[in-house]
Amino acid sequence: MKGVIIHGGHGTRLRPLTHTGPKQLIPIANKPISQYALENLRDSGIIDIAIVVGDVYPEKVKEYYGDGSKFGVKITYVHQDQPRGIAHAVGLCEEFIGVEPFVVYLGDNLLKGGIAKFVESFERADFNAMVLLCKVKNPERFGVAKFDSSGNLVQLIEKPKQPPSNYALTGIYFFRPVIFDAIRQLKPSGRGELEITEAIQLLLEKSPPVHHQFVEGWWKDTGTHEDILDANRLVLDDLKPEIIGEVEGDESIQGRVFVDEGAHIKRGATIRGPAAIGKKALIEVGVYIGPYTSIGNGVKVKRGEIENSIIMDDSLVDVNEKITDSIIGSESEITSGKPGRPKGRTFIVGDRSRMVL
């Protein structure tokens, strides 16, 4: 089997974070969101992977993933000139796929437990397509499954105002090349896109049928700032604690904490897990890093308290404040000079920003 990771879209709901890079490279627990998709494919035995890049800094995607060799895969890049829908992005991969079955994985989706068992199931079966479904509280945000009285999948509806069920498409699809014939029959939807749900609907009317399976554990679509922080919490909840970098005092680490290579935790700092500290990060005396916080590579935290937040690479935090529920873009500076009791603040700050409190 081959794999396709969709890495396009403008990520308008995630601005300002997406003014300087694609949404799929936003880090969750110090790893780009789309890297989880790539590793899921690789760990399922799929090493020949196409990444469909859009017009939002595609060079950053290519710079990070390269030819895939450092991740144990082989990557082919396919360019989509502008967002024309998931089905359009899949259609661009027809030459890459050839006659093989394949998996499409939206690069801004996270799934606990990976997809290995689903890959094995699809390889054994003769279905034209298989979709993974997850029960959600807000199905109107997604493509939604409709079932008949016997529990058979009969329809997929994109973002319905009145959802026929609470089961959403997870953004992970299994196809055989017949899907390309279906895509060629599509016309742009009201959103101006070629909808993958409509392509699958055409396959539902054929034989063999479209199969579906329900995911266990959690699935997360990271379309908003709140989704990003929620995904960070979910991933950190499964964190395996490990100290690779330097921690001056054993009392500085409380709970499940990962400290990466070259990081330095000064004596008198407190890191309360689950939390992740990136490569060559520096945490100074008196700093408090609270639960569900990811500190990126090269970050310096000289003063302050941080909880339930993501601080991206090479940023500086030097505040007499408590920062909570925040996402701070890379190479940013958050500083203050006023003494006094810390106050809680929340930020969504894009890359290379500077704020003085």
- Model confidence at 356: pLDDT above 60: no
Do both 118 and 258 map to the same domain?
no
Q: Are 329 and 314 in contact (CB under 8 A)?
A: no
- Model confidence at 335: pLDDT above 90: no
Question: What CATH number is attached to the domain comprising 318?
Answer: 2.160.10.10
Do both 191 and 259 map to the same domain?
no
Q: How far apart are CA 156 and CA 147, in angstroms?
A: 9
Residues 6+ apart with CB under 8 A from 65: 38, 51, 71, 75
Do both 166 and 263 map to the same domain?
no
Residue 232 within any structural domain of the chain = no
- Model confidence at 355: pLDDT above 80: no
pLDDT band at 32 (very low <50, low <70, confident <90, very high): very high
Do both 216 and 268 map to the same domain?
no
Do both 205 and 347 map to the same domain?
no
Q: How far apart are CA 61 and CA 209, in angstroms?
A: 36
In the chain, the number of structural domains is 2
Do both 244 and 216 map to the same domain?
no
Q: Are 165 and 145 in contact (CB under 8 A)?
A: yes
Give the range of the structural domain holding residue 318, as residue numbers without chain letter: 239-356
Q: Are 11 and 107 in contact (CB under 8 A)?
A: no
pLDDT (0 to 100) of residue 189: 86
- Which of 193, 224, 255 is where one domain is finished? 224
Q: Centre a 10 Å sphere on the Cβ of residue 239 and count the other Cβ atoms it contains.
A: 18
In tens, the pLDDT along 263-299 reads 999 999 999 999 999 999 999 999 999 999 999 999 9
- State the pTM of this model: 0.89
Q: How far apart are CA 229 and CA 308, in angstroms?
A: 7
